[in-house]
A and B are shown apart, each in its own frame.
Chain A
Amino acid sequence: AQSVAQPEDQVNVAEGNPLTVKCTYSVSGNPYLFWYVQYPNRGLQFLLKYITGDNLVKGSYGFEAEFNKSQTSFHLKKPSALVSDSALYFCAVRDPRGSTLGRLYFGRGTQLTVWP
């Protein structure tokens, strides 16, 4: 069965410092992995995805994520955090076999707070 774990409910970081939001996954076969961000009372915004190829994926707003197959992880990173990055971040995995019409399995979310 497919699943995603975000081990941290909350991540706090000072503005200008690097940030990491952790995600590990469990899926049969090669995973398709996604990161989304949600601001209060809003839908999810797509940040980036890993399908194949280079393990380091660059996305929107300066975010990047590193796919690590041996550790089954897909951590989200940013070299220098901004206060405006404060939001709820979701990691998701998709069943690559297509039988489930592309449904995503979401982690429980990590609240990122960047203080000035």
Chain B
Amino acid sequence: GAVVSQHPSRVICKSGTSVKIECRSLDFQATTMFWYRQFPKQSLMLMATSNEGSKATYEQGVEKDKFLINHASLTLSTLTVTSAHPEDSSFYICSARFPTGASTDTQYFGPGTRLTVL
């Protein structure tokens, strides 16, 4: 149990285009999902917290209009990188909070999406 998937696993796009990344919790419902960005050999940087049915909470310094997050259902959150530029190239990872109803919930992570902007 507690499986999180991401799609696509790898995407290459031209500068100026938009890219959508999907994060799904396959066998549980997740009211809260998180989006991270990871640079090579570095830790994860939290970009935003996504809550089903409400607006995402973005971390300081993350552009809301550039990284659009939609959490339309209890099993799906999407991250859209709008007007992508080469500096947006990175490894994007989502996680979903497994809802045991306690504050001790564990986050389970997707396999990540490698975005390369040419």
Contact = CB atoms under 8 A, between A and B. Distances in A.
A49 B69 CA distance: 28
A106 B43 CA distance: 7
A43 B32 contact: no
B4 A43 contact: yes
Contacts, number: 61
B27 interface: no
B51 A44 contact: no
A36 B43 contact: no
Contact of A102 (B2, B103, B110, B114): B103
A102 B109 contact: no
**Which secondary structure dominates chain A's binding surface?**
loop
B107 to A, nearest CB: 6
A43 B107 contact: no
Interface centre among A43, A49, A108 (most CB of B within 10 A): A43
A11 interface: no
Given A43-B93, A44-B93, A102 B107 contact: yes
13 contacts: A43-B93, A44-B93, A44-B95, A44-B109, A46-B107, A90-B43, A101-B51, A102-B97, A104-B34, A106-B43, A108-B42, A108-B43, A109-B41
Given A49-B106, A102-B107, A103-B34, 12 more contacts: A41-B91, A43-B6, A43-B93, A44-B93, A90-B43, A90-B44, A101-B49, A102-B32, A104-B34, A104-B46, A109-B41, A111-B41
Interface of B: 2, 4, 6, 32, 34, 41-44, 46, 49, 51, 57, 91, 93, 95, 97, 103-112, 114
3 closest residue pairs by CB, A with B: A43-B109, A44-B109, A43-B111
